[in-house]
Structure 1
Amino acid sequence: MKDILLLIEEKQRVYSQSPLFEFMQDESIYPAKRLAFAPCAAPFIMSFADLCKYVLRQEPTNDAIQAILNQHTYEDDSHWQWFLEDIEKLGFNCSLPLNDSLRFVWGEETKASRLLTYQLYTYIAQSEPIEKLVVLEAMEAASDIFMSFTKPITNQLQSITNQEYSYFGDRHFEAENNHNAHSHDVNKFIESIYISEKTRQKSVYLVDQVFELFTKWNHRLLTYAQDYQVLLPLNQQFEKEQMLEVA
C-alpha cells in the first residue's frame, strides 16, 4: 500500500499547481471574490454526506478496512452545515424561486460538481473495501490541498468582517487534521496493508481518475469565480486598503 500512498502524494503535488489555487492566492483580489466559486461547488459539497452515509459506509462489518471507512464517514458527514454557514457569511445566500434554484443546481454551471459526485459514487460502489480506501485517501489528499488555500483567505476575511468561517476556515481545517481515522496507529496499519498486483493496478487507475475529476472540477470553479460579481459593501473597504498600501 505504501506505493499507492506515494502515488497519491505525487498527484497531490501536481494538483496543488492548479490555476484555481493561483487565483486564490492573488491578494490583489477581494477575499470573498477568491471564494466566489462556492455556489458552483455546492452540489458536490452538499452531496458528500450521502457519499459517506450510503456508499462508503457499510454496517455492520467485521472488516478492519471497512471499519476505518465507517469511522471516517461519521467524522465527515455533517460538514455541509458549516458550508451553509459560510455561504451566508460570504454574502452568497441569494433568494431565488424554487424553480430557479433547481435550474441552478441541475444546470450547466454546476455540471462539473454533479459529475464529480456521480463518478465518485460509481468508483466507490464498484470497489472492494481496500479500493474504497484508496479512493477516500485520494479524495482526502485533494481536500487537504483545497483547504490549505481556502484557510488563508478566510483568515484575511475575518480581519475585515470579524466573522469566523467554519467550512473554508480553521474549524474544518483542524477537523480534517484531527480525524481519528488519521491517527498514527491507523496510518501505520494502512501503510502495512498488502495488496495484490491486480488490486495495485486498479488502485493506480482509481487514484488517476480521482485527481483528474478534481482537476476538471477546479477548472469549472475557477471560471465561475472569475465571472461571479461579488457585490459587498466591504469590497469598497478592501479596495481603499489596497490603494493605501500602494500609496
Structure 2
Amino acid sequence: MERILTIIEAKKQQFAQLDLFYFMQDRSLKPEHRLSFAPCMTHFVMSFSDLNKYVLRQENSNNKIQEIVNKYTYEDDEHWPWFLTDIDSLGFNNSLLFSDMLRFIWGEETKITRQIAYQVAGYCLKADAPIKIAMIQSLEAMADVFFSISSKITSELQATTKKEYFYFGNLHLGVESEHSMNAKKAKEQLNSIDLTEIQYREALEAVEQIFNIFSKWTYELLAYAHNHPIELALEEKLNTTLVMCR
C-alpha cells in the first residue's frame, strides 16, 4: 500500500495545479464569484453520504482494514447539511420549480458531477477493503487541496457578510484534517498493508480513474463559474422573486 499512497501524493500535487484552483485564488475577483460553481457540486455532495453508508461501509466485518474504512464512513457521512447551509449563505438558494431543479442536477452542465458518484460506487461496491482505502485516500487528498483554498475564500467573505460558512469554510477543513486515518498510528497501519499483485493493479486503476474524473470535474466547475457569475445568479434570483410576486 505504501507505493499506492506515494502515487496518491504525487497525483495530489498535480491536481493542485489545475486551472480551477488558480481561479479560486484570484483575488482580483469577488470572493463570492470564486465560489459561484457551488450549485454545480450538488449531486456529488448529496450522494456522498449514501456512498459512505451503502458502498464503502460493510457492517459486522471482522476484517481489520474494513473496520478502518467503516470508522471513516461514520466520520464523513454527515457533511451535506453544511453544504445546504452554505448554499443559502452564498445566495444560491433560489426558488425553482422542482422540475427545473431536476433538469439542472441531471442536465448537461453537471454531467461530470454525476459521474463521480457512479465511478466511486463502481470501483468500491464489491471491492476488497484495501481498494476502498486507496479510493478514500484519493478523495481525501483532493479534498485537502479544495478546502484549503475554499476556506480562505470564506474567510474573506466573513469579513464583510459576518456569516459563518460550514462546508466551504474552516469547520470542514478542520474536520477533514482530524480524520482517524490521519493519525500517526493509522498512517503506519495503512503503509504496512500488503497488497496482492491483483489488488495493487486494482488500487492503481481506481486511483488513476478517480483523479482523472475529478480533474475533469474541475473544468466543469470552472465552466459553470464563468457561465454563471454571481451577478447573473443574483439577477436570476430577482427575476424569480418578481415572477412569484405577480
Which consecutive unaligned segments of at least 5 residues does structure 1 have? Answer: 235-247
Question: In structure 2, how many angstroms separate the alpha carbons of the residues matched to 1:200 and 1:151?
Answer: 34
Specify the SS of the correspondent of 1:110. Answer: helix
Per-residue deviation at 1:201?
1.8
Question: In structure 2, how many angstroms separate the alpha carbons of the residues matched to 1:188 and 1:229?
Answer: 45
Question: In structure 1, how many angstroms separate the alpha carbons of the residues matched to 2:183 and 2:68?
Answer: 11
Q: Name 2:85's counterpart in structure 1.
A: 85
Q: Name 1:52's counterpart in structure 2.
A: 52
**How many residues are matched?**
233
1:103 aligns with 2:99: no
Question: In structure 2, how many angstroms separate the alpha carbons of the residues matched to 1:206 and 1:61?
Answer: 22
Specify the SS of the correspondent of 1:163. Answer: coil
Stretch of structure 1 that moved more, 194-203 or 150-159: 194-203
Q: Which whole-Å deviations, capped at 9, do the CAs of 1:148-182 have from their partners, x for residues lacking one?
A: 11111011111111111100010000000011232
Q: Name 1:239's counterpart in structure 2.
A: none
Which consecutive unaligned segments of at least 5 residues does structure 2 have? Answer: 235-246
The 5 A counterparts of 1:2-151 are 2-151=2-151
Over aligned residues, Cα RMSD in angstroms?
1.3
Question: In structure 1, how many angstroms separate the alpha carbons of the residues matched to 2:50 and 2:143?
Answer: 17
Stretch of structure 1 that moved more, 123-132 or 151-160: 123-132
Matched letter for residue 52 of structure 1: N
Q: Which whole-Å deviations, capped at 9, do the CAs of 1:184-215 have from their partners, x for residues lacking one?
A: 21111001111122221221111111100100
Matched letter for residue 28 of structure 1: S
Give the TM-score of the pair, scaled to structure 1: 0.92
Per-residue deviation at 1:136?
0.9
Moved over 6 A (4+): none
Question: In structure 2, how many angstroms separate the alpha carbons of the residues matched to 1:152 and 1:163?
Answer: 14
The 5 A counterparts of 1:157-196 are 157-196=157-196
Specify the SS of the correspondent of 2:211. Answer: helix
